[in-house]
């Protein structure tokens, strides 16, 4: 049994506008709809738990896609709060050692092959795994004046993506521990790492971007067109 928690309680402040970015439309469907579609199509995904803002007026009320149940709950102030709320709201049938994926609501261009590879490699790893992309650009470290003072070796640097995949109990304990310490958690793997555990990095595609700005939206539209065959 493998469920996916999709945190969708954010306001998308960096994106701008009154409409949360997960509800912005591409090809006549919201980014969130594209995301849920790619998840529910996979035969090994049991269901999806979507975490919404308390006053979300845009959620269309989906309860099922491709025969997979879609459940909802209310999230918190920060991403980690929302993911933890999603974990706690999972059905009782989801056991402590069952795998749970966490995937961004506004990351709609996940290739099916990347999801297959994550489930295969992560499912055979002791801790879990996350999709990530090796850093290929030259990375600079600046000083307080904004001047480049060091070139950072990139051999071991990766850009974290989602989905990220962990046992339900492991991830819940990691998030609870991190939140209790007051630490700002930027992704689930960070919380798990703080327990002394080492998740596996599974190389993902550059098209699996998270829509954060309007420029990202244009790139996502391009990739959604390619992935769905709309470019001809």
* Residue 67, token pair as written in the block: 């025969």
Tokens read off for 162: 């989602």
Beta bridge partners of 71: 49
- pLDDT of the residue at 230: 55
Residue 167 has a pLDDT of 98
Q: What is the pTM of this model?
A: 0.93
pLDDT at 231: 47
On whether the CB atoms of residues 224 and 27 are closer than 8 A, the answer is yes
- What pLDDT score does 210 carry? 96
> H or E stretch including 25?
strand 25-26
d(CA 232, CA 230): 5
Q: Which helix (H) or strand (E) holds 177?
A: helix 168-180
Sign of the C-alpha dihedral, residues 8, 112, 133, 15?
Answer: negative
Q: Which residue has the tokens 């829509």?
A: 211
Structure tokens at 212: 């954060």
Let me know: does 217 contact 119? Beta carbons within 8 Å.
no
pLDDT of residue 149: 95
List the chain pLDDT tens, one digit each, 232 residues.
899 999 999 875 555 567 999 999 999 999 999 999 999 999 999 999 999 999 999 999 999 999 999 999 999 999 999 999 999 999 999 999 999 999 999 999 999 999 999 999 999 999 999 999 999 999 999 999 999 999 999 899 999 999 999 999 999 999 999 999 998 999 999 999 999 999 999 999 999 999 999 899 999 999 998 877 654 4
Query: Encoding tokens for residue 115?
Result: 């999801």
């Amino acid at each position: 049994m493998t469920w996916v928690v999709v945190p969708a309680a954010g306001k998308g402040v960096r994106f701008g506008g009154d409409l949360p970015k997960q509800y912005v439309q591409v090809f006549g469907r919201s980014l969130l709809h594209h995301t849920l579609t790619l998840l529910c199509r996979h035969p090994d995904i049991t269901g999806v738990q979507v975490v919404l803002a308390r006053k979300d007026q845009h959620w269309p009320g989906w309860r099922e896609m491709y025969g997979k149940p879609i459940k909802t709950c209310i999230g918190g102030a920060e991403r980690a709060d929302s993911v933890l709320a999603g974990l706690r709201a999972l059905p009782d049938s989801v056991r402590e050692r069952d795998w749970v994926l966490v995937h961004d609501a506004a990351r709609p261009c996940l290739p099916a092959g990347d999801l297959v590879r994550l489930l295969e490699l992560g499912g055979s790893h002791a801790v879990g795994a996350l999709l990530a992309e090796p850093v290929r650009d030259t990375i600079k470290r600046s000083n307080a004046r904004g001047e480049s003072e060091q070139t950072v070796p990139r051999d071991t640097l990766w850009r974290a993506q989602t989905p990220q995949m962990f046992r339900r109990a492991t991830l819940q304990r990691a998030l609870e521990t991190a939140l209790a310490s007051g630490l700002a958690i930027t992704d689930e793997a960070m919380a798990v790492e703080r327990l002394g555990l080492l998740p596996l990095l599974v190389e993902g595609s550059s098209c699996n971007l998270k829509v954060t700005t309007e420029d990202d939206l244009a790139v996502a539209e391009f990739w959604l067109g390619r992935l769905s065959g709309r470019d001809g």
